[in-house]
Amino acid sequence: MSDHYDVVIVGAGTVGATLACLLAGDGFRIALVEARAQAPDEARDPRVWALTLASERILRRAGAWRRIEPAAIGAFRELEVWDAGGGGRIRFDAADIGAAALGSMVANARVQAALSAELDERPAVTRIRPARPVGLHFRADGVEVALDAGGVLRAPLVVGADGADSAVRRLAGIAADVRGYGQTAVAADLRTEIGHGEVARQRFLPDGPLALLPRADGRCALVWSTSPAHAEALLGMEEADFRAAVEEASEAVLGRVLEAGPRAAFALRLLRARAYVRAGLALAGDAAHTVHPLAGQGVNLGLLDAAALAEVLVQARAAGRAFGALHVLRRYERWRKGDNLATAQVLDAFKHLFGSPLVPVRRLRNLGLDLTDAAVPLKRLIMRRASGLSGDLPAIARPGADV
One DSSP character per residue, 132-149 reads -EEEEEEETTEEEEEETT
Question: Which range has the top average pLDDT, 205-209, 269-273, 277-281?
Answer: 277-281
Most confident of 16-20, 149-153, 208-212: 16-20
Distance in angstroms (rounded) separating the CA atoms of residues 328 and 312: 7
Q: Which residues, at least 6 apart from 127, have a Cβ–Cβ distance to it below 8 Å?
A: 12, 32, 34, 119, 120
Torsion 289-295-299-303 (CA) sign: negative
**Cβ neighbours of 2 (radius 10 Å):** 9
Residue 43 pLDDT grade (very low, low, confident, very high; cuts 50, 70, 90): low
Nearest Cα neighbor of 101 from 253, 214, 223 is: 214
Q: Does the bond joining 214 to the residue before it have cis omega, within 30 degrees of 0?
A: no
pLDDT at res. 2 = 61
Q: Is the pLDDT of residue 44 over 80?
A: no
Please compute the mean of the pLDDT values over residues 57-82 and round it to a whole number: 94
pLDDT band of 117, cuts 50, 70, 90? very high
Q: Lowest mean pLDDT: which of 109-113, 169-173, 341-345, 355-359?
A: 355-359
pLDDT(345) > 80: no
pLDDT of residue 300: 93
Given a cut of 60, whether residue 353 has pLDDT beyond it is no
Counting residues of the chain whose pLDDT is more than 90, the rounded percentage is: 69
Q: How far apart are CA 363 and CA 368, in angstroms?
A: 9
320-331 tens-digit pLDDT: 999 999 999 999
Q: What is the C-alpha separation between 308 and 331, in angstroms, rounded?
A: 9
Going from N- to C-terminal start, the domains of the chain cover 7-76+102-177+269-367+393-397
Predicted confidence band of residue 227 (pLDDT cuts 50, 70, 90): very high
369 vs 317, more confident = 317
Q: Which residues of 207-241 are buried (b: 16+ CB within 10 A; e: fewer)?
A: bbbbbbbbbbeebbbbbbbbebebbeebeeeeeee
Residue 317: strand, helix, or coil: helix
The pLDDT of residue 92: 87
- Helix, coil or strand: residue 364: helix
pLDDT-based confidence at 299, cuts 50/70/90? Answer: very high
Q: What is the mean pLDDT of residues 302-308?
A: 97
- Which pLDDT band, with edges at 50, 70 and 90, does 292 fall under? confident
Q: Is the pLDDT of residue 374 over 90?
A: no
Q: In the prediction, which pLDDT does 391 show?
A: 81
pTM of the complete model: 0.92
- Beta strand ranges found along 113-175 (DSSP E): 125-128, 133-139, 142-147, 152-155, 157-160
pLDDT tier for residue 230 given thresholds of 50, 70 and 90: very high
State the pLDDT at residue 372.
66
Q: What is the band of 32 on the pLDDT scale with cuts at 50, 70, 90?
A: very high
- Per-residue pLDDT tens digits for 146-163: 999 899 999 999 999 999
Question: Is the pLDDT confidence value at 365 over 70?
Answer: no
Q: In whole numbers, what is the pLDDT of the chain averaged over residues?
A: 90
Residues 6+ positions from 54 with CB-CB distance below 8 Å: 300, 303, 304, 387, 388, 389, 393, 397, 398
**CATH superfamily, region 7-76+102-177+269-367+393-397:** FAD/NAD(P)-binding domain (3.50.50.60)
When pLDDT is cut at 50, 70 and 90, the band that residue 236 belongs to is: very high
Q: Is the dihedral of CA 13, 51, 109, 24 positive or negative?
A: negative
Is the CB of residue 307 less than 8 Å from the CB of residue 23? no
